Structure 1
Amino acid sequence: MKVLLVDDDFVHLLILRKIFEKSNHEVVVAHNGKEALQYLEFDWAFHVILTDMIMPIMDGLEFMEHLKGSTRTAGIPTIGFTAGDVEYFRQKSNHSFDSLVAKPLDFYDLYNLARFAAGNQLD
């Protein structure tokens, strides 16, 4: 499975990266939505994207607008996570996430959610 992790928290990125790589998944890391879009310009063959909602430069909502607005990337399952109000982000988003979960969370639960979301693309 090829995963794009988007978060400005280096500790979260480190933990998530280790969990995915332990299971031999390919992981690409971006520190904000703008950086993630730069990766997606050249490679959109991701099975799942996990993104924080509150980030500098480009937050998760703006990132989702670009992601779901492109025919190349609109079909990639996307899981959002936030320390903020989940319902607020659900209401503000013009595009639905495959999942939107609250922090703090069990990183293994997030890993399993990502595997499930990407499952359809791996068959």
Structure 2
Amino acid sequence: MKVLLVDDDSVHLLILRKIFEKSNHEVVIAHNGKEALQYLEFDSSFQVILTDIMMPIMDGVEFLDHLKESPRTCKIPTIGFTAGDVEYYRAHTKNTFDSLVAKPMDFYDLYNLAQSAVSSHLN
């Protein structure tokens, strides 16, 4: 599985990267939505994207909007996570995340959710 992790929290990135790489998945790291879009310009072969919502430069909601506007990336399963109000983001975002979870989260649950999203997308 090829995974794009987008978060400004280096501890979260380290933990998630280790979990995915332990299972031999390919992981690419971006520190905000703008950086993630730059990766996607050159490589849209990601099978799942996990993104924080509250980040500097470009947050997860704006990133999702750009992602869903592009025919090359609109079908990639996207999992959002936030320390903010999950229900607010569900109700007030133009596009929807495939899954949206609250922080603090169990990183292994997030890993399993990503695997499930990829599996569902392939079927």
TM range (shorter): over 0.9
TM-score, normalised via structure 1 length: 0.97
**Superposition misfits of 4+ residues, deviation over 3 angstroms:** 120-123
Residue aligning to 1:77: 77
Gaps of 5+ in 2: none
CA distance in 2, matches of 1:44, 1:5: 14
CA distance in 1, matches of 2:101, 2:83: 9
Identity of aligned residues (%): 76
After TM superposition, the structure 1 = structure 2 runs for residues 4-19 of structure 1, keeping only pairs within 5 Å, are 4-19=4-19
Check the 8 A contact 1:47/1:122 in 2, yes or no.
no
Q: Name which of structure 1's ranges 68-77 and 92-101 shifts more when overlaid on structure 2.
A: 92-101
CA distance in 1, matches of 2:122, 2:5: 18
How many residues end up aligned between the 2 structures? 123
Shift of residue 97, structure 1, vs aligned partner: 0.8
Aligned letter for 2:75?
Answer: G
TM-score, normalised via structure 2 length: 0.97
1:73-104 per-position Cα deviation (integer Å, ceiling 9, x unaligned): 00000000000000111122111111000000
Residue aligning to 1:29: 29
Aligned letter for 2:84?
Answer: G
Residue aligning to 1:99: 99
3-state DSSP of counterpart to 2:73 = coil
